[in-house]
Amino acid sequence: MAARKRPSATNSTATDTSKPTTPVSVPPKTDDPPIAPPKSGLILKLFFILSLPYFYLIFYHYQLESELRRSILINAGLSLAGFFVTQKMIPVASTYVLRRNLFGFDINKKGTPQGTVKVPESLGIVVGIVFMVLAILFQYFNFTADSNWLVEYNAALASICFMLLLGFVDDVLDVPWRVKLLLPSFAALPLLMAYAGHTTIIIPKPLVPYVGFKILDLGWIYKLYMGLLAVFCTNSINIHAGLNGLEVGQTVVIASAILIHNIMQIGASVDPEYKQAHAFSIYLVQPLLATSLALFSYNWYPSSVFVGDTYTYFAGMAMAVIGILGHFSETLLIFFAPQVINFLLSVPQLFGFVQCPRHRLPRFDPQTGLLTGTNDGTLVNFFLRIFGKMSENRLCTALLVFQAIACALCFVLRYFLTGWYK
Q: pLDDT by residue (tens digit) across 51-74? A: 999 999 998 889 889 999 999 999
- Answer for the pair 175, 186: CB distance below 8 angstroms, yes or no: no
Q: Is residue 321 within 8 Å of 160, Cβ to Cβ?
A: yes
Q: What is the mean pLDDT of each run of 10 residues along the chain (422 residues)?
A: 52 38 44 81 90 91 90 95 97 94 91 91 96 93 73 90 92 81 84 80 77 80 88 92 95 96 91 88 96 97 94 95 88 94 91 82 93 93 95 96 95 80 64
pLDDT at residue 18, as a whole number: 35
**First CA to last CA distance, the chain:** 38
Q: Give this prediction's pTM.
A: 0.90
pLDDT on residue 27 = 44
DSSP character string of 51-111: HHHHHHIIIIIS---HHHHHHHHHHHHHHHHHHHHHHHHHHHHHHHHHHTT-EEEEGGGTT
- Beta strand spans in 266-420 (E): 363-365, 370-372
Whether residue 308 contacts residue 122, with contact meaning beta carbons closer than 8 Å, is answered with yes
Residue 5, SS3? Answer: strand
